[in-house]
């Protein structure tokens, strides 16, 4: 706690103070690395916006990777679960039983891979919410969902 001009207690936010320290450190590192401050005038507004945009894209990637880690899910693991059911890695040769098994696994509407599949299927940008994913896939039987997911996975492997 700190004291203001009138001697009364002023509360400080430790998180804000930590961010403030990070900002100062980041500024010092930038000055040391580039030999200039953000007061530089050699960049146009469009270039500043491009830098910010690229940093935001990086941030989105870091956030998504972290969310997947917290969820304990990786795309390779999900592919493994789907393909351990399907001996041939060719959706066209899957049996009805294999399609139904995969379809049942795809009813996990919180699964990021299922959500990405559903979004692409209805032409929306990923990510869909769990509810949107459920609605997008609700009209498919387990067998049809499994076959469609298998075909989609085959396409993803070819990309």
Span 100-131, pLDDT tens digits: 877 887 777 777 778 788 888 888 877 778 88
The predicted pLDDT at position 72 comes to: 65
| pLDDT top residue among 69 and 26 | 26
Q: Are residues 88 and 122 in the same domain?
A: yes
Q: Give the whole-angstrom CA distance, residue 153 versus residue 83.
A: 9
Closest CA to 102 of 153, 155, 142: 142
Q: What total number of domains does the chain contain? A: 2
Domain termination residue (choose one: 12, 45, 71): 71
Q: Are residues 86 and 65 in the same domain?
A: no
Q: For residue 86, is pLDDT > 50?
A: no
Q: Are residues 150 and 82 in the same domain?
A: yes
Q: For residue 37, is pLDDT > 90?
A: yes
Dihedral of CA atoms 128, 132, 136, 138 in degrees, nearest 10, equals 140
- Helix (H/G/I), strand (E/B), else coil: 2: strand
Q: Are residues 86 and 41 in the same domain?
A: no
CB–CB of 83/153 below 8 Å? yes
The predicted pLDDT at position 117 comes to: 81
Q: Are residues 101 and 148 in the same domain?
A: yes
Place of tokens 């969820």: 71
- State the alpha helices, DSSP H only, in the chain: 14-34, 45-71, 75-85, 96-105, 112-121, 130-137, 142-158
Q: What is the mean pLDDT of the chain?
A: 78
Longest dimension (CA), the chain: 80
Domain termination residue (choose one: 53, 71, 89): 71
Domain span at 52: 2-71
Q: For residue 88, is pLDDT > 50?
A: no
Query: Highest mean pLDDT range out of 7-21, 46-60, 117-131, 136-150?
Result: 46-60
Q: How far is CA 101 from the centre of its chain?
A: 26
Q: Are residues 26 and 83 in the same domain?
A: no
Q: For residue 41, is pLDDT > 90?
A: yes
Q: For residue 142, is pLDDT > 70?
A: yes
Lowest mean pLDDT among 15-24, 37-46, 68-77, 138-147: 68-77
Query: Highest mean pLDDT range out of 2-6, 15-19, 99-103, 138-142?
Result: 15-19
Q: Give the whole-angstrom CA distance, residue 119 versus residue 137.
A: 10
């Amino acid at each position: 706690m700190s004291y203001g001009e009138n001697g009364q207690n002023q509360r400080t936010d430790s998180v804000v103070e930590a961010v403030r320290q990070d900002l100062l450190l980041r500024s010092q590192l930038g000055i040391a690395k580039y030999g200039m401050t953000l007061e530089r005038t050699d960049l146009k507004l469009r270039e500043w916006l491009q830098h910010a945009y690229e940093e935001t894209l990086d941030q989105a990637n870091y956030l998504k990777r972290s969310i997947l880690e917290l969820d304990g899910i990786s795309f390779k693991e999900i592919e493994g679960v789907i393909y351990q059911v399907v001996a041939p890695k060719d959706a066209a040769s899957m049996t009805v039983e294999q399609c139904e098994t995969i379809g049942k696994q795809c009813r996990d509407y919180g699964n990021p891979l299922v959500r990405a599949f559903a979004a692409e299927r209805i032409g929306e940008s990923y990510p869909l919410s769990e509810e949107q994913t459920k609605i997008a896939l609700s009209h498919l039987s387990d067998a049809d969902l499994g076959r469609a997911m298998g075909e989609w996975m085959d396409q993803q492997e070819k990309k």
